[in-house]
Structure 1
Amino acid sequence: MSPPAQDLFDWYDRHRRDLPWRNVSGRPDPYRVWLSEVMLQQTTVAAVGPRYARFLARFPDVAALAAAPWEAVAEEWAGLGYYARARNLHAGAKALAAGGFPRDVLGLRGIPGIGAYTAAAVAAIAFGVPVVPTDGNVERVAARIHAVETPLPGAKKALDSLANRWMEQAAARARPGDFAQALFDLGATICTPRRPACALCPWRGACAAQAQGIAEALPRKAPKKARPVRSGVHFAVTDAAGRLLVRRRPAEGLLGGMLELPGTPWREAAWHSTEALALAPLPDLRWRHLPGEARHGFTHFELRMTLLAARHDGAAPEGFAWMAPDAARAAMPTVMRKLLALLEGAVSPA
């Protein structure tokens, strides 16, 4: 049995979050909905808010984003992480600029980089399609409402099916975009991972987990495997003006198309100095090992990086460029900024 949609609407109409990408007075702009959903993947609302506004100021619509060079998009995305999102967003904008936004889930799935969840979110919120976009918040609500004890990720399909059954109610189908966003807000503010505020929940009476006293234990999750550790050596080359030698990573792969300090591949085996220096952009320079280690966590592995520094006052080698440190930092992903912090710590006065 589905929990009553009207109870959720009554709560949402009083307590909805004031978010910059929401439009409460008319049909939302599909570009803004799409952008917000992409940015919010793996990133908190607090972090996305100011970056969303800044991104829109630079790329106010699909046409502007499609026409922008990748370097500009990468620079604006720097620091947000999960950089494949930016590549997919850029590719999707190029496809959408020609024909506009499809108005259904299937059509949206045909756009590069738009997966099942994002297609459902844009369809429901921007076009009023009666479908529930099932994110982590919605999965948690569904697991608790129906007391589903199968661990994630194995329970994902079942939880998605349960959540979409809720949309079959007439009230929900009349306001599908609001229903989806009400579910997001319920999971984010009431049905939270720890210490859910069950006493304030509009669906308390329909929640099987709350009735059984197991709400906080759900959804269950399969044990995580330990992430392997990989190592890398990077090279900080500066010139007389204090500029840094940088390069752009290949378009495909991890951090594709982003700016970086040159370095070795990241691998599980440790790097020996002579082996690493053979891959330096200018191996014959006088290199010194900087103290400390930069660490960064990716989804599937932990990365540990050391830094070698040298001075070079000649031209940049082919495939590399000189860049002022502040400009480089602004355009680099977080993992590279951690290396810059090592460099700055080494040259700062004691």
Structure 2
Amino acid sequence: MSAPRERPRAGDLLDWYDRHARDLPWRVGPRARAEGVRPDPYRVWLSEVMLQQTTVAAVKSYYETFTTRWPTVQALAAAEDGDVMAAWAGLGYYARARNLLKCARAVAGDHGGIFPDDHATLLTLPGIGRYTAAAVSAIAFDRPEVVVDGNVERVMARLHDEHTPLPQAKPLLTDFAARLTPDTRPGCYAQAVMDLGATICTPRNPACGLCPWRRSCAAWQAGTATELPRKAPKKRKPTRLGIAYLARRVDGAWLLERRPDSGLLGGMLGWPGSDWGDDPQEAPPIRAEWKTLTEEARHTFTHFHLRLTVRTALLPMDRRPDRGEFIELPDFRPSDLPTVMRKAFDLAHAGMRKS
């Protein structure tokens, strides 16, 4: 007969966190917090926005670039839109970058450059939803808010052996998390649960033998941890087609255009092209002798797959485009392009080197 399941205690997890907290560039660790060091709300907010739908490993270099270039919320608020969008390129989900600027300007303009310290007021800022408001409230201001990301959902589902599939299970898992959130050190606790999910209670092959909540875990006792959390079957993603026109002038300048602020890749610099759909129509931005590459640029967005036909042209100096503008070679950085546009560039650049 198995031993009775213990009640999970926040203190056990905090003790584990004090010994095993991850060293992250945006984090004030438990030892420093105990010595009175307080997190910078700007850096907490910036990291949380960057981490949405993105891994810690991918975010680190972007975070360091942003905080070096724009060390305060006032500095970010004063930045040029194009510079911020370029620095964000490759991180994906570009609406986050647009909202990042809107929020920074709201904090600088309406709150004297000081982030609000309560959940309700944080929710009034552009681009801040329930999760981000809770994370900033807890981590930056030590408020006992319930912080639930994918790691926390996984930990709660296993802790309670909850088999209701996501996303239907979200309210229930949030309720489980709320019951455990302590009034003492809630900021450290929020980070501790996320660390537990990221390092011990991992999606595959969880290290249950190292878990401070093992004896409180219903899924560990039932032998179902690797099955949880359950997820509803994913809908099949449709495939959309498009055309990207990559034109280079004889002096090396490239023809680019900035996409509309709304919609996918909004506000980003990219190649002129057609709409994306089932039957893309020709929409060359300039009169030229276009060559079609044999290889497509392929990319997957959240809701669909994209296949771009890449067409290239070499232009004389006196040719004027119908849309877009030429970016001189010293000012053109492929790294400023969103990932799908950079894929098209890589294909075109390789093709031009061969020709």
State the TM-score, normalizing by the size of structure 1.
0.94
Q: Is 1:107 paired with 2:111?
A: no
SS of equivalent residue, structure 2 residue 183: helix
Q: Is 1:200 paired with 2:213?
A: no
Find the counterpart in structure 2 of residue 299 from structure 1: 302
Residue 325 of structure 1: how far off its partner (Å) = 8.1
Residue 40 of structure 1: how far off its partner (Å) = 0.8
Residue 10 of structure 1: how far off its partner (Å) = 1.1
Alpha-carbon distance between aligned partners in 1 of 2:45 and 2:115, rounded to the nearest angstrom = 10
- 1:158-173 paired onto structure 2 within 5 Å: 158-167=172-181, 172-173=182-183
- 1:261-300 paired onto structure 2 within 5 Å: 261-267=271-277, 269-271=278-280, 275-276=281-282, 279-282=283-286, 284-300=287-303
- 1:70-109 paired onto structure 2 within 5 Å: 70-98=81-109, 99=111, 100-109=114-123
Alpha-carbon distance between aligned partners in 1 of 2:151 and 2:196, rounded to the nearest angstrom = 8
Residue 4 of structure 1: how far off its partner (Å) = 0.6
**Amino acid across the alignment from 1:159:** L
**Amino acid across the alignment from 2:134:** A
Encode CA deviations 1:280-307: one digit per residue, 9 max, x unaligned.
111x321111120110000000000011
Alpha-carbon distance between aligned partners in 2 of 1:185 and 1:340, rounded to the nearest angstrom = 38
Q: Is 1:322 paired with 2:326?
A: yes
- 1:122-161 paired onto structure 2 within 5 Å: 122-161=136-175
Find the counterpart in structure 2 of residue 116 from structure 1: 130
SS of equivalent residue, structure 2 residue 309: strand
Encode CA deviations 1:44-88: one digit per residue, 9 max, x unaligned.
111111211111111111101111110010011011111111111
Q: Is 1:52 paired with 2:76?
A: no
Residue 261 of structure 1: how far off its partner (Å) = 0.5
Q: Is 1:18 paired with 2:23?
A: yes
Find the counterpart in structure 1 of residue 41 from structure 2: 30
Q: Which runs of 5+ in 2 are unaligned?
A: 1-5
Alpha-carbon distance between aligned partners in 2 of 1:30 and 1:259, rounded to the nearest angstrom = 30
Find the counterpart in structure 1 of residue 344 from structure 2: 339
**Amino acid across the alignment from 1:64:** A
Q: Percent identity?
A: 54
Q: Which runs of 5+ in 1 are unaligned?
A: none
C-alpha contact 1:2 1:165 (8 A) present in aligned 2:
no
C-alpha contact 1:288 1:310 (8 A) present in aligned 2:
yes
Alpha-carbon distance between aligned partners in 2 of 1:316 and 1:104, rounded to the nearest angstrom = 53
SS of equivalent residue, structure 1 residue 262: coil
SS of equivalent residue, structure 1 residue 230: strand
C-alpha contact 2:214 2:220 (8 A) present in aligned 1:
yes
Instruction: Judge which range, 286-295 or 215-224, deviates more.
Output: 286-295
Alpha-carbon distance between aligned partners in 1 of 2:124 and 2:192, rounded to the nearest angstrom = 27
Instruction: Judge which range, 30-39 or 236-245, deviates more.
Output: 236-245
Alpha-carbon distance between aligned partners in 2 of 1:175 and 1:252, rounded to the nearest angstrom = 40
Encode CA deviations 1:6-28: one digit per residue, 9 max, x unaligned.
11011111111000001132110
Alpha-carbon distance between aligned partners in 1 of 2:146 and 2:62, rounded to the nearest angstrom = 26
Find the counterpart in structure 2 of residue 186 from structure 1: 196
> Structure 1 residues 87, 157: CA separation in 2 closer, same or farther (over 3 Å shift)?
same
SS of equivalent residue, structure 2 residue 178: helix
Find the counterpart in structure 1 of residue 249 from structure 2: 239
Alpha-carbon distance between aligned partners in 2 of 1:326 and 1:333, rounded to the nearest angstrom = 16
Residue 315 of structure 1: how far off its partner (Å) = 5.2
Alpha-carbon distance between aligned partners in 2 of 1:159 and 1:117, rounded to the nearest angstrom = 14
Alpha-carbon distance between aligned partners in 1 of 2:133 and 2:105, rounded to the nearest angstrom = 17
Residue 328 of structure 1: how far off its partner (Å) = 3.8
C-alpha contact 1:244 1:325 (8 A) present in aligned 2:
no
C-alpha contact 2:256 2:271 (8 A) present in aligned 1:
yes
Q: Is 1:229 paired with 2:229?
A: no
Alpha-carbon distance between aligned partners in 1 of 2:319 and 2:297, rounded to the nearest angstrom = 28
Match of 1:210 among 212, 216, 220: 220
> Structure 1 residues 317, 2: CA separation in 2 closer, same or farther (over 3 Å shift)?
farther
C-alpha contact 1:125 1:176 (8 A) present in aligned 2:
yes
**Amino acid across the alignment from 1:306:** T
Find the counterpart in structure 2 of residue 249 from structure 1: 259
Aligned residue-pair number: 339
CA RMSD of aligned residues (A): 1.4
**Amino acid across the alignment from 1:45:** V
